[in-house]
Amino acid sequence: MVRRQVPNPREILELVQFKRPSLDARKRRLDAALTIEDLRAIAKRRTPAAAFDYTDGAAEGELSLRRARQAFQDIEFHPSILRDVSRVDTSTSVFGGPSALPFGIAPTGFTRLMHTQGESAGAAAAGAAGIPFTLSTLGTTSIEDVRAANPHGRNWFQLYVMKQREISYGLVERAAAAGFDTLFFTVDTPVAGARLRDTRNGFSIPPQLTVRTVANAVPRPWWWVDFLTTPKLEFASLSSTGGTVGELLDSAMDPSIDDEDLATIRAMWPGTIVVKGVQTVADAKRLADLGVDGIVLSNHGGRQLDRAPIPFHLLPEVVREVGSDLEVTLDTGIMNGADVVASVALGARFTFIGRAYLYGLMAGGRQGVDRAIAILADQVRRTMKLLEVTTLEELGPQHVTQLQRLVPRPRP
């Protein structure tokens, strides 16, 4: 039998706790976001469909992106036990310098379309967190302004070799002069992928005021007010705009680039050179023979060739073949700090976040990027503690099993 009693008012008062309401609406919504998916939901509510879909979408059927994300879900962790993990160290070194966390911000194009603070917000947030920031050739903030936003942090530059080679060469020289220490030579964009969401939305650069875009903007007036009351959208490398993203890429990119272009850029660049967009073991081995400093296993976030290889699946074999010769890093599909930890356990020296950072940017500008980094950092630390490792160096293949979902059929 349970003994009943008259409720004690003092005990009831001890249970009642009211949080002081915050008058800062941005802070309230960002504090409520516990995952990158939560930030994505906020971003979708606050951003016009064309700009959101440009960020969120991928090429054609978007299979490459879905498969990459699924690959991170299809893992099993194997924790150790009875180890003191009261303190963990998430710091690492990559491409000749330090990073406070095992992930950095990937290069993204047209970033001021997502939020007018654009790359400046990303660079400043990266600097505050002690992680690298990578500026895209198709960035909407200049090399020099990114350096001003992140004057003491590590800034990297992602290069497209364009038909007008002098444009690319000039960008290399400017990035070196601004103190950028690492150059990403990108090899997966001979032509633009078919990004069907952009076509269906009538998305162009700059955005056009049509009946459809105005109707979509009505519940999001803050985005258009912000866009129309800030400096004109300009690009780091392109002197002209107008047309879809695919049309701009096809007009600027050169499908004829080859090893000689890599050698030319390498001779010009005084720092670390990394090849971004590697998708086969054979190419990783060839680049190791060419003596590059590192590679990024990437299918461009699923935005180029649909049904492309899954970088996370390639990782273990590439590390076995070339990990002693160059630094192997990874992007595409990372939405959780556990994805980062799994990648490091299977041999990745470093990882990159693209959409995860942009969801935060769209959700709340610089504060939203800070929140995205904080969410991922907390997930990294918690996963390490639950695996009972205290440093990234302690992580190894024994901590992760990649479960099979897509199994290749034997070749004829």
**Which residues does the annotation mark as catalytic?**
300
**What stretch of H or E contains 42?**
helix 36-46
3-state secondary structure 143-176: HHHHHHHCCCCCEEEEECCECCHHHHHHHHHHHH
- Note whether 282 and 290 are within 8 A (CB): no
The tokens for 95 are 């491409």
Angle, alpha carbons 177-350-33 (nearest 5°): 100
The tokens for 85 are 């993990």
Residue 311, preceding peptide bond in cis (omega within 30° of 0): no
Q: Kindly report the backbone phi and psi dihedral angles of residue 120, in degrees, each rounded to the nearest multiple of 5, phi listed first.
A: -65, -40
Contact partners, residue 159, CB within 8 Å, separation at least 6: 137, 168, 171, 172, 183, 184, 185, 186, 265
Burial of 86 (0-12, 13-18, 19+ CB in 10 A): exposed
